[in-house]
Amino acid sequence: MAGLNQVQEGTVRDRLWMWGNEPKNQDASWGFPGVSRMTAVEAALYFEVPNVVMVTHNNLPAPPLDKDAIAMRPLKRVVWTIVNSGGGTSEDEREHVFDIAARFPNFTGFLMDDFFRTAEDGSATASLSVEDLRAIRDRLTLPDRQLELWAVLYTHQFDMPVQEHLAQCDAVHFWTSRSKELADLEANFAHLEELCPDTGKIQGLYMWDFGEKKPVPVDLMKHQCELGLQWLAAGRIQGMAFIASCLCDFELPCVEWTRSWIAETGDQTL
């Protein structure tokens, strides 16, 4: 695949992304300390990052997305899901997102969230076929820019047969879903590089441990941020994304530490 379009700019901040969700749209069962009111654009402003990955969750935001896209015009880059949280997708929704991306110049690509899953019989499955992805790739070249296709992959999915799907993607958006597994982050990332050496990589950084229903400890937040900075400098990853906007108005220690870290490192030249 071609090189990621976000690598053209040269500071750490240019490579940082806010993972955006609709306000008040997260399941209370995750143990959040309240109901967030912060939008994805507000969270990006709060973190002073220029880019947003916008993820549809619980069918929100719902089409038409024009008003959402207008609110995102001040951002440098927007990537929007065509496979939503939980792995759901539909042709009508994808077509609408394709149309929005064509009309808003700061839209730079599409994300397939929760793309790989384990079926009831234990087999691996994906939300779209390899043939579907090839057809989507034919839609990525616009008159004024080249769009990108990203797919989410969790560390616990590395042994799934994902290579043929990922070969159709510009980047794999990789996530360590449980804080206790961050101790293995370096080894897991090396494994990922072996799995898909020619695909770009975006590091996903959880600020909430959804499995344990609690914030990520600050020391582990520091660990993954510092590794990400090293990988950015070495060209091993092309971006870092912080999940999620719906956590940014609770004054969690790991969130506030991350804000300070971005303030300190964001203007460093890569």
pLDDT of residue 8: 54
pTM: 0.96
Nearest to 226 by CA among 245, 203, 248: 203
pLDDT of residue 127: 98
Mean pLDDT computed over 186-206 = 97
Amino acid (one-letter) located at 202? I
Q: pLDDT for 44-94, tens place per residue?
A: 999 999 999 999 999 999 999 999 999 999 999 999 999 999 999 999 999
Question: Which residues are bridge partners to 124 per DSSP?
Answer: 118
CATH superfamily of 13-265: Glycosidases (3.20.20.80)
Q: For residue 179, which phi and psi values (nearest 5 degrees)? A: -55, -40
Q: Where are the domains of the chain?
A: 13-265
Which pLDDT band holds residue 178 (cuts at 50, 70, 90)? very high
* pLDDT of 120 above 90: no
Percentage of the chain lying above the pLDDT 70 cut: 97
CA distance 200 to 238: 7
Structure tokens at 8: 């053209």
Mean pLDDT computed over 238-258 = 97
